[in-house]
Structure 1
Amino acid sequence: MTLPSVTDPALPVPHGFFTRDGGVSTGPYASLNCSLSGGDDRALVLVNRSRVAQALGAAPENFVGLTQVHGIEVATVTTPWAPGEGPRADAMVTGTPGIALGVITADCGPILFADPVTRIVGAAHAGWRGAVAGILEATIDAMVAIGADRSRIAAVVGPCIRQNSYEVAADMRNAVLAHDAANARFFQPGRPERWMFDLAGYCAGRLTQAGVGLIAITPGDTAAEADRFFSHRRRTLAGGGSIGHQISGIRCDA
């Protein structure tokens, strides 16, 4: 099945950063909402996730997700689990052929990884908290632990909230700078006592420091492109309400 998605030639395996288009959900969840933890009809979400699995060339029962918590836990997947029963973690890795990994986002950074030789793959959900805490490095370490070569790994940062849309206050900026003062380069001045944060650039910077072989950032601003993406920030600025989430996935084809 063909679904609208963003892909990148850096990843040599089936993958996609999927948009909000091509699903069966309605209302604020229209149409490819893939989150099982919101208020959408579960049956519709399962249809949407099945469509994504098929687009990745995976059996729906082999497409796994997580209970994401903005932490640094990484699950190593050898056998699939049922939808909605994923562990509390923010990344997965696998070297098992046929298994596809999916992470949910609505402004946070989805990052997909692949070693082109072993075909070991990974998927991570990186909001600023998880990125600062080390979720990207933990994902790389988990891939290496099952046979990937760090210097060969390709990592692609998918569509997320971009710097022109991501206004933050001093407490968040201070938390990022406390990890490394050089992170000031990822902030631009905004309104008084506000800054604009480059989440995609920050993630790419952490990946560079981690020593992976190839890094790319895809286009796409989830907050600014209402017709293509769900966005927590956009929903908040509009006064709240229900929200869907897009999914990004990658399949091991070893």
Structure 2
Amino acid sequence: MPTLLLVRHGRSSANTSGILAGRTPGVTLDDTGRQQVQALAERLAPVPVVAVVSSPLERCVATAEALRAVDGPRGRHRHRPAVVVEDRLSECDYGEWTGRSLRDLAKEPHWAVVQQHPSAAVFPGGESLRDVQARALDAVRETDARVRAEHGDAAVWVAVSHGDVIKAVLADALGMHLDAFQRVVVDPASLSVVRYTATRPFVLRSNDTGAPTDGLVPPRRRRGRRAAASSDAVVGGGAGSGAGADPAAPGRSG
């Protein structure tokens, strides 16, 4: 069966702003994000990718283009197909929450639903997380079947998307109810690997960033006390562990 490489876009100009960007146009990779994507592209250079599909948003398309532009081992140019935009891999439509501060959103009554019962979460004026998962899975399954028909069981392909979207796909592959998907972490420029078979999916890798262990160091004590880590999941995906994020903050968009 084909192997799917799920890639979250590199860190964007919104990930460190404290704003839920959602589908806001003009959100691009920042300098760190471009470096992250370049590093991932070099790691994936030896892999014979036969298809690259991407969310239509700028930060994902830029990531996808970078992944197909890197030369292979020993400087050999590796031919990779053009990026195909797949609207169903787009960011969640956060509706009236788009553009708002995450700190303010964490005070909304609906925040608790998003955190604790996401299968019931419908963003005001936007879409539900159930619909996000359904459309993303349709896109992934249909593309995987097409790749298999055109390139065979050994084919490898890439899908570039957003934090919450990839979390929803991984939750399904892991056999988790959508209400548990907030337990999944997907950092910027991370690589998760899924293989769909006739009977079940296999998750071969999750949130692989090839990163150093800085993010595992406990946070500094504040005013004589250790800062308490928030149990809230990062709505939108976040800027990644080890990115200098306040562990007690509700998160940063992605």
Normalised by the length of structure 1, the TM-score is 0.34
Instruction: Judging by fraction of residues, say which structure has more helix.
Output: 2
The TM-score, its normalising length taken from structure 2, stands at 0.34
Query: Structure 1 or 2: larger strand share?
Result: 1
